[in-house]
Every structure is written in C-alpha cells, then in structure tokens.
Amino acid sequence: MDGGAFSLREVLAAFQTCVTEEREVLLGPYLRGWRGLVRFLNGLGAIFSFISKDAVAKIQIMESYCGGERREEYRTLQSMVRYELSGGLVDLQRRSAHPDSGCRTVLRLHRALRWLQLFLEGLRTARQDASTSAICTDSYNASLAAYHPWVVRKAATVAFCALPSRDAFLEVMNVGGPDEAVEMLGDALPHIRDVYGITQELYAQHHLLDLP
C-alpha cells in the first residue's frame, strides 16, 4: 500500500481481513485500512488536509498502543475494550486522566467508518452525472455531522465542494473503468458494514457510544 500505483481496492481489502473467525476485529488491518484511506484523501488536494491531520493523529495514537508494551491487549477491538475498561483506563464522563484512550479514539474512527459506508454506497448507486459533493454532504449529515461543532461542519461542507465528479472520482480509485470500480465497491461494502456492525454492537454492550 506504500509507494507505487495506489489502488483503492487494496485499501478496502484491509477491512475484509479485519474480522476473525471468532468475529473479533483485528486492529492491525483496521488501522492499515485507515492509513490507506488517508493517503487517498491527501491525493484529493490540500483543502482536505485539516481532515486528514485529525485522522492521522487518531491513527497514530492507536498505532502507538498497538506497537507498545501492552500490544497483546491491543490485538483486537474486543481485547482493547476488555483491557481498558478493567484497568479503569477510559474517561467515561469527561476527558481527564485518560484523554486519549483507545476506546474513545476508535470511537471517532468508527463514526467516520459509518460516513465511509454511506458515501461508498451513495457513490456506487448514484447516476453517472450525480454530484459527488452532494453524496458526500448527505453521507456526512447522516453520520459524523451530529458529533461536530458548527465550525467543523462548515469547513467540511466547504471542502466537499472541491470533490471531483463521480466519474473522475471512480477513476482516481485506480481500479479500472467506472463499471469495475462500481463492482469493487459492491464487493467491499459488506466487509465495511460487518466491521461497523461488530464495533457498534460491542460499544453499545459496554455503553461506550458517547465517550467524551
């Protein structure tokens, strides 16, 4: 995924390898998927850099846990939740002693994964002349926007106006022609939905969906 021609197919394949037979989510491929997406976002222009900086900061926090002394605890989402909750390592009411817990950091990426799912679904099913920026804005308003203050929502919707047309977008994905790109999205989406669903259920079970 680093260097050479960049295909969104490889990036989305990372989400396919996230889920184990025991239906656990592996954090290694999850973060590799996000790294690839950010790389793709960077290629869309400097106007998106405030978004990619925030995503990178969150990926880096998680990578430091996954490569740190307690890396075994951070192998899967499930082991991370167990470890952090049993050790009192998550700020549940307000950010204080553990402002950057793995649980709250993944929650931000998890919400963004819902945006990605809606955006890719929109892109896949839209008419050829559909506006990518409208698809992106609708997906954002139906997901992440609820968690962002006005100023972030404003900056994000201004940035979305710079998105290329649907066909140009499908082309930069670098997976062949528009038909192939649409087919690839159809193959990738069930895996993204699966990762999202498992995470949502886990977080709901442990009352972690509103972490500050």
Residues binding ligand LTTT4AJV (CB under 6 A): 8, 37-38, 40-41, 48, 50-51, 54-55, 108, 111-112, 115, 120, 123, 136, 140, 144, 147-148, 152, 156, 163, 173
The conformational region for residue 122 under phi > 0 = left, psi -120 to 50 = alpha, else beta, is alpha
The rounded distance, in Å, linking the Cα atoms of 167 and 25 is 33
Q: Smallest distance, Å, CB 111 to ligand LTTT4AJV?
A: 6
CB of 39 to ligand LTTT4AJV, least distance (A): 9
Nearer to ligand LTTT4AJV, 76 or 143 (CB): 143
- Quote the CA–CA distance of 91 and 85 in Å, as a whole number: 9
> Toward ligand LTTT4AJV, which CB reaches closer, 2 or 22?
2
**CA neighbor of 33 nearest in space, from 25, 43, 22:** 25
> What b/e string do you get for 56-73 counting C-beta neighbours within 10 Å, with b at 16 or more?
bebbebbbebbeeeeeeb
CB of 185 to ligand LTTT4AJV, least distance (A): 7
Minimum distance between the CB of residue 105 and ligand LTTT4AJV, rounded to whole angstroms? 8
Nearer to ligand LTTT4AJV, 23 or 187 (CB): 187
CA dist 138 to 121, 127, 142, 186, 195, Å? 11, 15, 6, 20, 22
Please, which residue, 20 or 46, has the CB nearer to ligand LTTT4AJV? Answer: 46
| CA distance between the termini of the chain | 33
Q: Of the two residues 148 and 193, which places its CB atom closer to ligand LTTT4AJV in the complex?
A: 148
Q: Shortest approach of ligand LTTT4AJV to residue 152 CB, angstroms?
A: 5
